[in-house]
Amino acid sequence: MPTISLKVNGKAVSAEVEGRTLLVELLREKLGLTGTHIGCDTSQCGACVVHVNGDSVKSCTMLALQADGAEVTTIEGLAAADGTLHPMQAMFREHHALQCGYCTPGMVMSAIDIVQKHPEGLSEEQIREELEGNLCRCTGYHNIVKAIAAAFPLMHQKHAA
């Protein structure tokens, strides 16, 4: 089996993987990072979203071999070492943007990517459109959209209008 090397949440990692091993399987089963969820096995739900080299990726659609040499960030890698939440995590908590929590890790990872890719600003309509690949069966999205909008100025160090 081939051995891959990557950086996961800032730490160098090496693992032997079969050619068919998905990135989500590597993260959950070999590295014990179970915050990345498997929701649908068809890349429809977004529960498995992680960042690979800074971009959000559905880890159920990427082979672990494709991540060789990459930097991967999971939900476990967002909070600071002292436990301070990432602004997006804090706003999800503050705005009650979760219920059962199953979609939350992937939703947070996608939301961070959305905000980072739109430094000029985001309308409610844009946020909803950008979230299209993430399914939540509990919240109705209203509080998720509010949380993302509230995190925007914190992530870009701008004052809310």
**HSE value, Cβ hemisphere, 13 Å, CA-based, for 146:** 12
**Amino acid letter for position 150:** A
Domain(s) labelled CATH 1.10.150.120 in the chain stretch across 87-156
Q: Say if residue 20's pLDDT is above 80.
A: yes
State pTM to two decimals. Answer: 0.94
End-to-end CA distance of the chain: 54
**Which residues belong to CATH 3.10.20.30 in the chain?**
3-76
Q: What is the largest CA-CA distance in the chain?
A: 54
Identify the CATH number of the domain defined by range 3-76. Answer: 3.10.20.30
- What is the CATH architecture assignment of 87-156? Orthogonal Bundle (1.10)
How far is residue 91's CA from residue 14's CA, in Å, rounded to a whole number?
34
pLDDT tens per residue, range 32-86: 999 999 998 788 999 999 999 999 999 999 999 999 999 999 999 999 999 999 9
The region that residue 30 occupies, defined by phi over 0 for left and psi between -120 and 50 for alpha, beta otherwise, is alpha
Q: d(Cα 6, Cα 38) in Å, to the nearest integer? A: 21
Q: Which two tokens stand for residue 150?
A: 């509230």
Asked if residue 135 lies in contact with residue 114, where contact means CB atoms within 8 angstroms, the answer is no
* Distance, CA of 51 to CA of 56 (rounded, Å): 4
Q: Which residue has the higher pLDDT, 40 or 4?
A: 4
